[in-house]
A and B are shown apart, each in its own frame.
Chain A
Amino acid sequence: AQTVTQSQPEMSVQEAETVTLSCTYDTSESDYYLFWYKQPPSRQMILVIRQEAYKQQNATENRFSVNFQKAAKSFSLKISDSQLGDAAMYFCAYSPHPNTGTASKLTFGTGTRLQVTL
């Protein structure tokens, strides 16, 4: 079974600074998807960024980028120029690739609470 581990329960960053959230996962598959979701106090789960395992290039979405290390099964999220609105719970998630025939469910980590200070 796939597992996702987030070892940082809480992180803090100053506004305008850069922070990196860590995530490791375990799978025997070679094709899969990895995601970072943001959950602000409103509880909405918002997709931040997605990485396809067969793509070597790290995904980037504006101030958000990932460092995907497939051999190490590591998938960290870097937030640049942090803003107050980035304060939220961040979840790393794994999903099997459709080609594996496995159900496309998301397996989540336990989350990292990010605090942004002035």
Chain B
Amino acid sequence: DSGVTQTPKHLITATGQRVTLRCSPRSGDLSVYWYQQSLDQGLQFLIQYYNGEERAKGNILERFSAQQFPDLHSELNLSSLELGDSALYFCASSLDYRGTEAFFGQGTRLTVV
């Protein structure tokens, strides 16, 4: 158990809908990362938050947004969902923004039908 908790584990929704994925980092970790794992794109970095502020942005679509709350948990919001958004979404956390050792959650499997 990495100590990073993601909910829900599975999510099935229809095209056009909006979903929220939640991540609780390991106790004491200030940095949260979101990654997307899909068959065609592989594992891709989406966005990083550190202590409540956006730190880095990767290949994140404009339909997607994230935030990190004062209690350090993070949420990834996916809207206007398309079939191609079906993927495994991982959250990872690290102690600081340097991310030299990131611990991953078990992921949320999103299926868009």
Contacts and interface: CB of A to CB of B under 8 A. Distances in A.
A4 to B, nearest CB: 10
Interface in B59-113: 88, 90, 92, 94, 97-104, 106-107, 109
B56 interface: yes
Interface in A51-81: none
Chain B interface main SS type: strand
B58 interface: yes
B90 A105 contact: no
Most buried by B among A98, A103, A105: A105
A104 B104 contact: no
Given A43-B107, A44-B2, A111-B42, A104 B100 contact: yes
B27 to A, nearest CB: 18
Nearest to B96: A98
A25 interface: no
A108 interface: yes
Range of interface residues on A (Cβ < 8 Å):
20 to 34
B43 A91 contact: yes
A107 B45 contact: yes
B98 A45 contact: no
B18 interface: no
B89 to A, nearest CB: 11
B45 A105 contact: yes
Interface in A79-111: 91, 95, 98, 103-111
Contact of B100 (A44, A91, A98): A98
A110 B109 CA distance: 19
Interface in A1-55: 33, 37, 42-47, 50
Given A43-B106, A44-B2, A103 B100 contact: no
A50 B94 CA distance: 14
Given A45-B107, A104-B98, A104-B100, 6 more contacts: A44-B106, A105-B33, A105-B58, A106-B99, A110-B42, A111-B42
10 contacts: A44-B106, A45-B107, A46-B2, A47-B103, A50-B100, A95-B100, A105-B48, A105-B58, A107-B45, A108-B43
